[in-house]
Structure 1
Amino acid sequence: MVKIDVFAHVLPPKFLTKMQQIEPHILAHFPYMKNPLLTDLTQHIASIPNDHQQILSMVNLNPEDFVAADQAAELCWAANDELASLVRENQTIFPAGVAMLPLNNVPAALKLIDEQVVGSTELVGVQLFTQALGQPITAPEYEPIFEKLARLQLPIWLHPVFDAHKTDNNLTFSWEYELTQAMNGLVAAHYFRKYPNLKVIVHHAGAMVPYFSQRIKYIQSAENYADFKKFYVDTAILGNSQALALALTFFGEDHLLFGTDAPFGIPPVGPTAVIEQAINEMAITETQKQKIFSGNWLQLMGQ
């Protein structure tokens, strides 16, 4: 059975070079991006187990954090072209990629969706982050992106970033909190009711939501509780069968997708083996495992 990892990362070399021309010491700000598997395609492919495929998304090196609107749009466009080429040349291993958007240029982001994602077999959705330019992703100026993607029935990959206003950010807990807050913001803004075809794939198994689902049920409205269940989530929590079982119970067997965050998490090649083992150790049927490993992704893509 082919296993499709829906949340694996790359940092294409041409895009990295362009960003280093803007900020020569950019990797010093993000030392985890020095992982050679992000930029060296040969090493990256060699790290992927047999019978596995990856849906590729960019690491969170976002042009809008460094340059003005027009240049950010140009950089995103070129990065998406580079990623699409990488997918096209290796489509048996990388069935698809995920586009990046310039969040300081929403009109260009909407145009990019039309011209680089709609109808593409290489770029099948977009990646958004829990915050952009110091604002939550639910800020009103970003809403047209959600409206458009829902109308087109194109999925969003939701990835965490730190809240720069906080002084105690850490990789163990902060990103999960930011994901949870972003999910809560999307529900509170009634996006799933305003845009019924909205599809959001949340990293890290839905963060805190499965664990605190009863708090959601009894503190928030029944409508909100139902909306939280509309998220899709991946399995990228570095193992832990019991935690994954909570995610499956809350979001449902059709909304849990195999995703690893490779090549991050467990050196040197990422946590794929550990996460796969955790899924295989879950007390679920083989049919449910098949859904997680590939079936739910194929269903989401209409295949």
Structure 2
Amino acid sequence: MKIDVFAHVLLPNFYKKMLGLVPDLPQKMPFLKNPLLSDVHLRQEKAISDVKQVISFVNVNPEDYLEPNQALAMVREANQELLDTVEANPDQFLGGVAMLALNHIEGSLYILEEFVQKNKSIFGVQLFTRHLGLSIADEQFKPIFAKCEELDIPIWLHPVFDNRKPDNNIVFSWEYEQSQAMLQLVEAGVFQDFPNLKIIVHHAGALAPFFSGRIQYILPEKQVEDFRKFYVDTAILGNPKALELTIDYFGIERVLFGTDAPLGIAPAGATQVIVEAIDSLSLSQVDKQAIYSDNFRQLVKEV
């Protein structure tokens, strides 16, 4: 079995409530129109039999539209819908990743303790590269990292646009935002403060593998070492040569199979293309199996 650690959903009840807040959301984010984000049965029809997905919500967060108590309540409902969906579809979904409302830190810590920690089907929590207009490395979010390390809860890191920039685009901007967030976390000393923290970065570590020389010769030695402490997925729409760079830079043990499904390649995502890319690499079967499932099993220690 292959475990897709970074697959996305926009479940019906949550989506309906978000449309109530932001009716033009699909126009602002056209990728939300993909029916497989919300329709679990249609998604199953397009599924690949030997792949199970770990699902997380797309980058739509109530904290951007609601005051803290309302945002927290909506996030908690969404997390329960996610858990119910996972448990109702065990052949399709291995587990899920919770969301937080970071305009309510106390409530988010409660979610980590009482929802993520106590539900074996919830493997971690998703954070974004920016929350509330601030870098995820901002000091006010530090209690979240402390609690995740304390409870051994992995963090899924997903990019969002920096709304201060006038030229955001889905081709390059997210990869820049992801890389910038990694740099900000390293420079903020997150791995020095929390050495056992586990952060899974979407899109194969973005720019880091290609610019590893700049990282090596520009940053202080400890930060160079810390940059390699991220885990990364394989969601770069195939591209075997780029995957080789990713594996060389982060090490085989920190690379996890992830596809961004159902996004990337219509209608159901890039799963098959990414499988073909991994299978084409000059790796042993042991190393390929490590990417496909063993590394994730070791990371979460519950599967």
Task: Name the TM-score, length of structure 2 as normaliser.
Answer: 0.98
Unaligned runs of 5+ in 2: none
State how many pairs are aligned.
302
How big is each residue's C-alpha offset from its partner over 1:204-247, in whole Å with a ceiling of 9 and x where there is no partner?
Answer: 00000011111111111111111111100000000111100110
Alignment of 1:148-187 (within 5 A): 148-187=147-186
Is residue 2:286 matched to residue 1:290? no
Q: Which residue of structure 1 lines up, in the alignment, with residue 137 of structure 2?
A: 138
Deviations 1:242-293 (A, max 9, x none): 1001100110010000000001111111100111100001111111100001
After superposition, the C-alpha distances for 1:141-187 in whole angstroms (9 at most, x for unaligned) are 11100111011111000000010000011111110000001000111
Q: Give 1:78 shift.
A: 0.1
Deviation at 1:99, TM superposition (A): 0.3
Q: CA deviation at 1:19?
A: 1.4
Query: Residue 102 in 1 paired to residue 98 in 2?
Result: no
Q: What is the alpha-carbon distance in structure 1 between the residues aligned to residue 277 and residue 22 of structure 2?
A: 40
Which residue is equivalent to 1:4?
3
Pairs within 5 Å for 1:16-35: 16-35=15-34
The corresponding residue for 1:230 is 229
Paired with 1:248 and 1:269, the residues of 2 have a C-alpha distance of: 26
Residue 211 of structure 1 corresponds to which residue in structure 2?
210
Identify the residue that residue 238 of structure 2 maps to in structure 1. Answer: 239
Runs (4+) of structure 1 exceeding 3 A deviation are none
Equivalent-residue separation in structure 1 for 2:127 and 2:195 (angstroms): 19
- Residue in 2 that maps onto 1:87: 86
Could you tell me which residue of structure 2 aligns to residue 39 of structure 1? Answer: 38
Q: Matched residue of 2:214: which SS? A: helix
Q: Which residue of 2 aligns with 1:62?
A: 61
**Residue identity opposite 1:192 in structure 2:** F
Secondary structure at the aligned position of 1:254 is classed as helix
The corresponding residue for 1:76 is 75
Identical counterparts, % of pairs? 49
Equivalent in the alignment of 2:194:
195
Which letter maps to 2:208?
Answer: V
Displacement of 1:38 in angstroms is 0.4
Q: Normalization by structure 1: what TM-score? A: 0.98
Gaps of 5+ in 1: none
